[in-house]
Amino acid sequence: MKLQKIKQPWTAPAVRLILETAVEASRFTANITENHDGSLKIKMIRLRTRKGYCGNHPNECVINPFIGEQKHKVCRFLEGADWVEFNDMMNDALDRHAISCVIFSRPLEIKKKLMVRKGVMRRTAYNSEPFFRGGMLRGHTWIGDEPGVWADCTGQAPVVAEFPEGTPGIHATAGYNEH
């Protein structure tokens, strides 16, 4: 995940401290480092406690009819709803301080940028689209960027972004828990 184009008067060290404070108070861990170009790299994003994991995807798990349902491994990786909560947490921290920047990640599942923030506009919905292989539904992928899902929420109460029902993971702020 990368945070870049930080607008004055904010600096990378100040934004890093704000995000590290937010992460420390959350159910997540992350390694936030400054790059030589004034951007921030957010890596090793994990849950503090282990739980069942089936993948970072939107919507319900698609069960392969030839294999059937498989046991989920237990680990600290984030699932779909966990990622939405992590993104909301970062946007909440940035909104409290009216920080303008760009945040994106590159999930392996979509092979393109997944935009999280554009200036002071935060993402308010994470939608999905089905993907097929061999004429068979294999699952759903996140839509990386789309119009109509952005809002300036600076100075407002924290916002819970929308995401598809059935998405695996936990969004504690939304009271959502899907396994």
pLDDT tens figures, 35-75? 999 999 999 999 999 988 877 777 776 666 566 666 778 88
Is the dihedral angle over the CA atoms 101, 107, 113, 116 positive or is it negative? negative
pLDDT band at 162 (very low <50, low <70, confident <90, very high): very high
What is the DSSP pairing of strand 73-75 with strand 121-123? unpaired
Mean pLDDT of 134-146: 86
* Cα dihedral 62→65→68→72 (10° resolution): -20
Tell which wins on pLDDT, 83 or 131.
83
For residue 7, name the pLDDT band (cuts at 50, 70, 90).
Answer: very high
Residues of the chain with pLDDT > 70, as a percent, come to 92
Output the pTM of the full model.
Answer: 0.92
CA distance 93 to 98: 9
pLDDT tens for 77-87 read 999 999 999 99
